[in-house]
Amino acid sequence: MSRYLVTGCAGFIGSQLIDRLLRRGDEVLGVDVFTDYYARERKDANLAEARTYPGFSFTELDLTDASLEPLVAETDGIFHLAAQPGVRGSWGDTFAVYVRDNVYATQRLLEAAAAANRRVVMASSSSVYGNAETYPTGEDVPPRPVSPYGVTKLACEALARSYFESFGLEVVSLRYFTVYGPRQRPDMAFSRIISALLNGTTFRLFGTGRQSRDFTYVDDGVEATLAAMAAGPGGRIYNVGGGSETTLERAIEICEHLAGRRLDVRREPSAVGDVRRTAADTSLLRSELGWTPRTSLDTGLTAQFAAAEAAERNLAVAGDDTGHLQGQEDGQEPDDGP
């Protein structure tokens, strides 16, 4: 049994990671700051299972100003999934938030981890590649992000490399490719598509719908994350992709079939910072850590649709509309969003 620190533990990937750790008998110290990017009620709900385990403890704190050394010292390893997500929101004045919550928070955590000699697995994003020159895209392809969000994630990777080379900190970075499944962030496309189908509302589609993404089911992403902690060499970067590259049009068709109705689509011009295509070459992760994705897009979307349908029923019974994201736009972003 090990004890792990998980930052961003109430988020989409983080909450499912801690559930997996607790089920196998590990102890988890979870931290989250509960930003207002989407409703806190959703994040609290994400922690419902974890709170039933005596091996789970939770601390609400901000990585940019909290004392991190005592937290790090209590654990055997760190999963760093906390971040400010979203491509479109990273432009303009809000870029300062991304610098603080992504770059500065990561630097402080790596500093504490290096002082305590604690191993780190860190979430990065396919957004670092931008519009890559080759597909599928391997880790050796030069990253060229086309959004400020992608720039901050690449900066975090550079920090990880610096701490590895300068202090010997064992840190592994994972470039997640559009993770989806139950608990997916409400601003991401599949969540919005399914919500629109369940509620009879309009989905705003940015671009032609022929833009494609390498979709990764959350359980597969969690297994890759665990494998990286167990055996990933320090300083390594891995792509985490589900091998389900699909156009947004095709994903909409699958969701329409699940709902038994047509989606009301309003087409908009392509959004600034969205890339045309993502496709992960995961051969390095497969060969070094023996990982392989196991969930097809049809199977994964079926699970996400069922979970969203159940959540909508619960909201209706409670008379609660806090689960709906305010002020965000529909479309397909390339980032994972922990």
* Residues assigned a catalytic role: 149
- Burial class for 327, CB neighbours closer than 10 Å (0-12, 13-18, 19+): exposed
Rounded-to-integer distance, Cα 270 and Cα 169, Å: 41
244 forms beta bridges with 215
Contact 240, 280 (CB under 8 A): yes
Query: Which residues 6+ apart lie within 8 Å of 216 measured at CB?
Result: 176, 177, 178, 179, 180, 240, 241, 242, 244, 280, 293, 336
Q: Residue 233: name the closest of 141, 157, 120 by CA.
A: 120
Specify the residue for token string 């603080």.
Answer: 100
214 phi and psi, to 5 degrees? -90, 100
Element (H, E) at 60: strand 56-60
Contact 197, 259 (CB under 8 A): yes
Radius of gyration for the alpha carbons in the chain, expressed in angstroms and rounded:
19
**Which amino acid is present at 276?**
R
Rounded-to-integer distance, Cα 139 and Cα 192, Å: 30
Structure tokens at 63: 């990585």
